Amino acid sequence: MRLQKSRWDTRVIEGNIVVQNPVAGAKVKSGRTVYVVPSKGARSFAVPNVVGKRLRQAHLFIQQAGLTVAEVIEEPSAEVEEGAVSRQYPVAGSEVGARAGITLYVSDGPPGELLIMANLVGKPMNSARTLITEAGLRVGKVSYEFTTSYERNMVIRQVPEAGEELRRGSRVSLVISKL
């Protein structure tokens, strides 16, 4: 038997054989060499420290480490500048598997008072923008969608929805009708 260079394998635990040649059950002549590739086990990756980095930069660092961002959660923070990562899970330096995702908590600015989201559905886009800013909120992502249920430039959906609690200074995303 001759050992070949070992390799990472998520299905075969470390030390066991990943591949052999000739294959198991094959008839071979006596004295023939069997080549085997042992497993190193599942590869683990070190989680980089992205706290304090802008979201885009944090994504790049995580991708360069061979990992992915599983979720981005916005939260208020008086200590971390808006748009920067305030914390992460798993924490920096942790060893995780190849398919593990990193959850990033991103500052959406200092905490503000809680408000109840108004219903903007059915309102003209310009009126909705005015209501958002007058309430101490910010206009977030605005996207457009074809619909015949509403007139052109009317709000057809909003996030957060009407009646939900949110903090002053939060972003409100709108979906606007277009014909």
Q: Are residues 90 and 101 in the same domain?
A: yes
Is the Cβ–Cβ distance between 93 and 44 less than 8 Å? no
Question: What are 164-175's pLDDT values in tens digits?
Answer: 988 888 889 999
Q: How confident is the model at residue 22 (pLDDT cuts 50, 70, 90)?
A: confident
Alpha carbon distance 71, 88 (integer Å) = 10
Q: Which residues contact 56 (CB under 8 A, 6 or more apart)?
A: none
Considering the domain architecture, whether residues 142 and 127 belong to the same structural domain is answered as yes
Distance separating alpha carbons of residues 179 and 162, to the nearest angstrom = 24
Summarize the confidence of residues 87-96 as an average pLDDT.
Answer: 93
Q: Give residue 29's pLDDT.
A: 85
d(CA 63, CA 96): 14
Q: Give the chain's domain count.
A: 3
Q: Can you give the CATH number for the domain in which 161 is found? A: 3.30.10.20
Among 54, 75, 107, residue at a domain's last position: 107
Q: What is the mean pLDDT of residues 25-29?
A: 85
Q: What is the pLDDT of residue 30?
A: 85
Please, what is the average pLDDT of the chain? Answer: 90
Residues 154 and 169 in one domain: yes
Question: What is the extent of the structural domain holding 38?
Answer: 2-42
The residues facing 80 across adjacent strands are none
The whole-number average pLDDT for the span 90-116 is 87
> What pLDDT does 129 receive?
97
Mean pLDDT, residues 46-72 = 94
Asked if 78 and 34 sit in the same domain, the reply is no
Separation CA 5–CA 9 (nearest Å): 13
Domain boundary among 88, 107, 126: 107
